[in-house]
Amino acid sequence: MSYQAKGLQAWLLQRLTGVFMALYILYVLGVVLFSENLNYQQWRDWLSHPLMNTATGLFFLTLAYHAWVGMRDIVIDYISHDALRLLVLTLISLFLISSGLYLLKILFSLTLTV
Amino acid sequence: MHSSVHSAVRSTKSRPKNLNLLSVRFPLSAVMSVGHRAAGILLFLALPWFLYLLQLSLSSESGFLQVKNDLNSIWLKMLILIFIWALAHHFIAGIRYFLLDLDIGIERQMAQKSALLVMILGVLVTVIVAFFLF
């Protein structure tokens, strides 16, 4: 089945996405922790900046891939019943896709409004 | 890479099954690994909530203040702390795996020590954040 691990590719991408997410998380935490009394306008302006907006979208893409590989590996390890495994994997992918669309909506709401 | 180990695993057609988890010894690295997985699942499940908070905080000034205010409640602070632990543990354990991939700290004793270190650091980060949150 197509959801099965493509060994090396999944292994490598799991690490590359991990590195990107680590950098993004450290940056965001750094900004949020060290900017005193962050107000709404600053928060919104920061995330509306094209670079930050794009980085956040990219962050979710890498997160979705990372989470998919991780969750899939766990499901393959612990759920051996074929139909149940497929059902759970389908639910996980739907969960990630709808979360992605939700984030897309949030990001677009920042850039498309006046 | 340890190709000999991989091919040895692949060549056994019937893989061993240990259905009774109590029959398996759990070294520190295994406990840490279970924590890595559990933390990953926690972060996965929390995703909609994080997105909801992000959406609310960006929707309007009052939404932003509502998020700030909500996160001041003791229950949400405890929930946040759980996710802080999950993120810290997952993050630090990930760095350890990364180093292991580069053959750094691959020796058994070293790997057990670094597994313990990961668990301690995960908790330590959580305690430090708790100190600032409460």
Complex ipTM, two decimals?
0.88
Q: Is the pTM of this model over 0.95?
A: no
Closest-CA residue in chain B for A7? Answer: B6
pLDDT above 60 for B22? yes
B39-78 tens-digit pLDDT: 999 999 999 999 999 999 999 999 999 999 998 899 999 9
**Does B40 contact A71 at a Cβ distance shorter than 8 Å?**
yes
On whether any CB of chain A is under 8 Å from the CB of B66, the answer is no
Specify the long-range contacts of residues B116-124, CB closer than 8 Å, at least 24 apart.
Answer: B116/B28, B116/B32, B118/B32, B118/B89, B118/B92, B118/B93, B119/B28, B119/B31, B119/B32, B119/B35, B119/B89, B121/B88, B121/B92, B122/B35, B122/B85, B122/B88, B122/B89, B122/B92, B122/B93, B123/B85
The CATH number linked to B112 is 1.20.1300.10
Domain-embedded: residue A60: yes
Domain-embedded: residue B71: yes
pLDDT above 70 for A2? no
A32-73 tens-digit pLDDT: 888 878 899 999 999 999 999 999 999 999 999 999 999 999
User: Into how many domains does chain B fold?
Assistant: 1
Domain that holds residue A58: 7-111
Domain that holds residue B59: 28-133
pLDDT given for residue A5 in this prediction: 52
Domain-embedded: residue B19: no
Give which of A106, A109, A112 to mutate to test B binding, by max B Cβ within 10 Å.
A106
Question: Which residues of chain A neighbour B43 with C-beta distances below 8 Å?
Answer: 67
Domain-embedded: residue B49: yes
pLDDT above 50 for B82? yes
Percent of chain A with pLDDT over 70: 93
User: Into how many domains does chain A fold?
Assistant: 1
On whether any CB of chain A is under 8 Å from the CB of B101, the answer is yes
pLDDT above 80 for B16? no
Domain-embedded: residue B109: yes
pLDDT above 70 for B12? no
Give which of A16, A40, A97, A112 to mutate to test B binding, by max B Cβ within 10 Å.
A40
Closest-CA residue in chain A for B93? Answer: A18
Q: Which of A19, A40, A67 sits opposite B64 (nearest CB)?
A: A40
